[in-house]
Amino acid sequence: MIVTVTANPALDITYRVDELHVDAVNRVTAVASRAGGKGLNVARVLRCLDAEGVEGSGVPVIALGLAGGSCGEVLRADLDAAGIAHDLIQVEAETRRTVAVVDSRAGTVTLLSEPGARVSGGAWAALREQVRARLPEASVLVLSGSLPPGLPADAYAVLTMEAGRHGVPVVVDADGRALSLAVTARPEVVKPNAAELARATGLPDLADGSARLRRLGAGAVVASDGPGGLDADTPDGRWRAVPPQTLGGNPTGAGDAAVAAIALGLAKGWDWPRTLVHAAALSAAAVPAPLAGDVDLVAYRDNLTRVALQEKEPQCR
Amino acid sequence: MIVTVTANPALDITYRVDELHVDAVNRVTAVASRAGGKGLNVARVLRCLDAEGVEGSGVPVIALGLAGGSCGEVLRADLDAAGIAHDLIQVEAETRRTVAVVDSRAGTVTLLSEPGARVSGGAWAALREQVRARLPEASVLVLSGSLPPGLPADAYAVLTMEAGRHGVPVVVDADGRALSLAVTARPEVVKPNAAELARATGLPDLADGSARLRRLGAGAVVASDGPGGLDADTPDGRWRAVPPQTLGGNPTGAGDAAVAAIALGLAKGWDWPRTLVHAAALSAAAVPAPLAGDVDLVAYRDNLTRVALQEKEPQCR
């Protein structure tokens, strides 16, 4: 069982407009909304692979986290409709929204991201307890996305240590202080993107930043570099996995698909080269899918044969 | 009792951002949401005047309409919190949202308006019945805003005729075919803005357009012309009511405040000059208020002494 945690989920709303005019009234031509947030996207991708029988037996997944208010209700209903197992703690704080405005003519995507309401100290205690209760049956713990106001900055560090006591490997996909603190608790893998890695380490070079995070405690660092693919620094070696070129699409959710593949690799005991090929292929298969959390399974299978995996020289430390 | 009908209400969400960047991620710094839609704004303004004891005893108001889904629930809760009496028919169609993005630096307001989900034929029958049941106690019926998909284009015309049978005067604030059809049912007053008037009549001149709508059946036409004030063509004469200049602010809701004053004038039996001075003053008092449906009561009282009411020459017909 892969357990994902989404402390700050969102109701993701997508608006399509013919042409976005700033400082004017824009008629929305199509509305879509779904449960979002990085950990829920990871769960959605894993659920999709499991349901479609991709990668053999698949691995069941459960989504944990916090949800509240009317948006929280809509979010739960959407997870139910998608067949994603979840156990979200009911909090008083209203679940936030994100609004993505897609300009059909220009092809631009303008994202408006609500910060999320402050959650209580009780919510954090309940989330800790909930994760702890799931660890005995967990094969991997995935900690993804931002922390809402009210959660301590070391929340991911605390949960990583808890998982360590149960021998459960942890994948962290976070930013800023949440990431910096989490690495000190020795997660199996961290998956920052290039900008997050630079922010966390102050080092603009990907290889330098990854080496720094490993020295600080991360078991492996898989840095996502947009169309450039994945740059991995692991105990078994260093690789870059470059997916085939994709034309256009929506890169939101590509990182979450990579995390899903990494979690799957850990759960199934794959070696790093296999995990990285799957992660790059699945990540690229998220781009043609219109909504974050969706992957194009035909593209995924096709990409698997076309990812270029380059081993890099061992780095002097 | 003033009865307002809002067939296509919305949950109005306001996002504040430091600076809006198209095709990028924008962090929302403040979120506000409230029940919106023209008829609900009218009810909110009237409720505010009543609660504050403005204009003597005030006139009670009830908001009718359709609402559904989780946004419908939030909308009802907000009306309750504001002390606005309402009786909204529960429909399956999810109540729509509007999102106003306020750029703090540039001062722009970018509005995204959802179209609203299709309502069933049963919803229309229920709304008709609901309005009919309220007419015996109504002094004025206000029909404001767009019709959701699924309601017939002549919905306002049908409700206006129904009110006519009970001797209840009707104020219509609508656009397009809903407006064109409504005037044929002889509402007491229609309140288009200049653009709506031009669209409905094909006549760019305000006086020509108003005369046309009166010939087609409108008892009086009060056309709102932005900072230019209100242009009225009535059975008792023609006037322009010009409010004092307002600097900046949010003009959304100014038309709804004018409708509220017109409804109040009808309920209280005011003559047209008095009604128009109040309508211009209240409309201008909506501009400094940050959210549609709010009015600045201090500005309102001040504006009352400063509106310039100009009588116009009788027009040859």
Tens of pLDDT, residue by residue over A99-120, are: 999 999 998 889 999 988 899 9
- For residue A181, pLDDT beyond 70: yes
Residue A248, in any domain of the structure: yes
Report the pLDDT value the prediction gives residue B157, as an integer from 0 to 100.
98
Report H helices in B190-315: 194-201, 206-216, 254-268, 272-286, 297-304
For the stretch B240-271, pLDDT in tens is 999 988 766 667 789 999 999 999 999 999 99
The average pLDDT across A173-196 equals 96
Contacts with A, B 103-142, CB within 8 Å = 103, 106, 108-115
Report the pLDDT value the prediction gives residue A287, as an integer from 0 to 100.
87
Report the pLDDT value the prediction gives residue B51, as an integer from 0 to 100.
82
Residue type, A89: I
A53 Rama class: left (phi>0) / alpha (psi -120 to 50) / beta: left
Closest residue, chain B, to A73 (C-alpha): B70
Report the pLDDT value the prediction gives residue B56, as an integer from 0 to 100.
57
Give dist(CA B62, CA B50) in Å, integer: 12
Report the pLDDT value the prediction gives residue B55, as an integer from 0 to 100.
66
For the stretch B165-222, pLDDT in tens is 999 999 999 999 999 999 999 999 999 999 999 999 999 999 999 999 999 999 999 9
> In this complex, do A114 and B17 lie within 8 Å of one another by their Cβ atoms?
no
Task: Find out whether B179 and B200 touch, Cβ atoms under 8 Å.
Answer: yes
Residue A136, in any domain of the structure: yes
Residue B193, in any domain of the structure: yes
Using alpha carbons, select from B43, B40, B38, B10 the residue that is nearest to residue B263: B43
Dihedral sign, Cα of residue A161, residue A166, residue A169, residue A171 = negative
The average pLDDT across B270-293 equals 92
Residue B17, in any domain of the structure: no
Percentage with pLDDT > 90 across chain B: 85
Provide the pLDDT confidence category of residue A252 given band limits of 50, 70 and 90.
confident
Give dist(CA A81, CA B116) in Å, integer: 22
For the stretch B16-27, pLDDT in tens is 999 999 999 999
Instruction: Supply the mean pLDDT for chain A.
Output: 93
The average pLDDT across A38-60 equals 86
Of A23, A96, A110, the CB nearest to B26: A110
H/E stretch holding B236 reads: none
Of B15, B70, B113, the CB nearest to A74: B70
Report the pLDDT value the prediction gives residue B317, as an integer from 0 to 100.
52
Give dist(CA B191, CA B281) in Å, integer: 16
Residue B13, in any domain of the structure: no
Question: Which tokens go with B278?
Answer: 């109040």
Report the pLDDT value the prediction gives residue A317, as an integer from 0 to 100.
53
> In this complex, do B113 and A26 lie within 8 Å of one another by their Cβ atoms?
yes
Report the pLDDT value the prediction gives residue B137, as an integer from 0 to 100.
96
- Chain A contact for B75 (CB, 8 A cutoff): no
According to DSSP, the residues that pair with B221 across neighbouring strands are: B190, B233
What would the DSSP string read from start to end of B165-205? HTT--EEEE--HHHHHHHHTT--SEE--BHHHHHHHHS--S
Task: List residues of A with catalytic annotation.
Answer: 256
Question: Which tokens go with A170?
Answer: 């942890």
Report the pLDDT value the prediction gives residue A298, as an integer from 0 to 100.
92
Give dist(CA B85, CA B47) in Å, integer: 9
- Chain B contact for A316 (CB, 8 A cutoff): no
Length of chain B: 317
- Chain B contact for A70 (CB, 8 A cutoff): yes
**How many structural domains are present in chain A?**
1
Q: Which domain does B154 fall in, by range? A: 2-8+38-94+117-312
- For residue A56, pLDDT beyond 60: no
- For residue A231, pLDDT beyond 60: yes
H/E stretch holding A160 reads: helix A155-165
Taking CB atoms and an 8 Å cutoff, what residues of chain A touch B248? none
Residue B112, in any domain of the structure: no
Taking CB atoms and an 8 Å cutoff, what residues of chain A touch B24? 110-111
Report the pLDDT value the prediction gives residue B53, as an integer from 0 to 100.
77
Strands (E), B211-256: 220-224, 230-234, 237-242
Q: What is the CATH number of the domain that holds A159?
A: 3.40.1190.20
Report the pLDDT value the prediction gives residue B313, as an integer from 0 to 100.
82
Count Cα atoms within 13 angstroms, Cβ side, for A8: 23
ipTM score of the complex? 0.84
Give dist(CA A266, CA A79) in Å, integer: 24
Report the pLDDT value the prediction gives residue A157, as an integer from 0 to 100.
98
Annotated catalytic residue within B256, B294, B296, B302: B256
Report how far Cα A3 is from the mean position of its chain's Cα atoms.
12
Length of chain A: 317
Provide the pLDDT confidence category of residue B227 given band limits of 50, 70 and 90.
confident
For the stretch A105-162, pLDDT in tens is 998 889 999 988 899 989 999 999 999 999 999 999 999 999 999 999 999 999 999 9
H/E stretch holding B144 reads: strand B140-144
Indicate the burial class of A310 (C-beta count within 10 angstroms; 0-12, 13-18, 19 or more). exposed
- For residue B96, pLDDT beyond 90: yes
Choice among B51-55, B72-76, B228-232, B284-288 with the minimum mean pLDDT: B51-55
Percentage with pLDDT > 90 across chain A: 86
For the stretch A300-316, pLDDT in tens is 999 999 999 999 987 65
Contacts with A, B 25-44, CB within 8 Å = 25-29, 31
The average pLDDT across B114-131 equals 94
Indicate the burial class of A228 (C-beta count within 10 angstroms; 0-12, 13-18, 19 or more). middle
Give dist(CA A246, CA A287) in Å, integer: 7
Give ∠ CA A227-A267-A136 in degrees, rounded to 5.
135
Residue contacts between A and B (CB atoms, under 8 Å): 81
Cβ-Cβ contacts under 8 Å for A9 (sequence gap 6 or more): A35, A36, A37, A39, A40, A65, A66, A67, A75, A88, A95, A96, A145
Taking CB atoms and an 8 Å cutoff, what residues of chain A touch B67? none
- C-alpha distances in Å from residue A124, one per residue of A77, A131, A261: 23, 11, 28
- Chain A contact for B101 (CB, 8 A cutoff): yes
Q: How many CB atoms lie within 10 A of CB A70?
A: 18
- For residue B11, pLDDT beyond 90: yes
Residue A268, in any domain of the structure: yes
Taking CB atoms and an 8 Å cutoff, what residues of chain A touch B114? 15, 28, 31
